[in-house]
Structure 1
């Protein structure tokens, strides 16, 4: 297996686990506090629906939305990176630094830590721009 393919696969799996962890985080807070905004979920546990989501759930939802703005773009760029045979040696750095930046971004988002949340976001974006440059450079 090509080095870029390998690291793309590793990054994809790690990003899946990260996003799944956000779902678990939300469920942990909802179940732990017995607070559900969705009527059928509240009824299932014999409670009235909450007027709004818990603050932890709201923050996690915003982190999830930020992932949905960035991770699919990374995944698409990663496929293009592998397909065109872009710099294989850089793949490990670009793919894993992006993944680490997304993990840190989520951690900083959930903890409300600035400016580190923005720094982590910017590192991920820089990785995607470098990937784009490498893709374009590899085109005939």
Structure 2
């Protein structure tokens, strides 16, 4: 186990997994930023500063910009968590460093492009293609894990 943790593939995976996890965590701050700048809150206790019931009602609303960031964050949760789990298993199969780094970089790049395309509402197929690249990378790593483990 110590040999695997000291391997260059594991170190590369740790770096890229940390990058996408931090990116996913950043989406919470981006959501908060949009909530405050758009004055669109979801909970009654979030609008205690409102002076009148009318002002409170105006602030308790759904805002498309906030919802767009929230959907992007949800998409991160749906894709980054499987990448981290499968990527960890993939590192245990002993892949070539160049192949592993290619997988990791493609995934990380696809998630950043996906976020930019989602938040800025870029025209399709930019968001769809970036999502697809990340999904294909994760599926390729999963295939490698299953190929290696089913031969045992």
* TM exceeding 0.5: yes
Provide the residue aligned with 1:86 in structure 2.
95
TM-score, with structure 1 as normaliser:
0.88
Aligned-residue RMSD, C-alpha: 1.7
Provide the residue aligned with 2:56 in structure 1.
48
- Stretch deviating more after TM superposition (27-36 or 65-74): 27-36
Provide the residue aligned with 1:122 in structure 2.
132
Q: Match of 1:37, SS?
A: coil
Q: Deviations over 1:1-57 (max 9, x none)?
A: 2122112111121112211221121111222233322111111x3361534222111
Provide the residue aligned with 1:136 in structure 2.
146
Unaligned runs of 5+ in 2: 1-5
Provide the residue aligned with 2:74 in structure 1.
65
Q: Match of 1:67, SS?
A: helix
Which structure: larger Rg? 2
Provide the residue aligned with 1:95 in structure 2.
104
Provide the residue aligned with 2:3 in structure 1.
none
| Count of aligned pairs | 139
User: Among residues 77, 86, 92, which one is paired with 1:77 in the alignment?
Assistant: 86
TM-score, with structure 2 as normaliser:
0.82
Distance 2:20 2:35 in 1: 23
Unaligned runs of 5+ in 1: none
Distance 2:39 2:127 in 1: 29
Q: Deviations over 1:98-117 (max 9, x none)?
A: 01101111110111121100
Verify the 8 A CA contact 2:111 2:134 in the aligned structure 1.
yes
Verify the 8 A CA contact 1:8 1:95 in the aligned structure 2.
yes
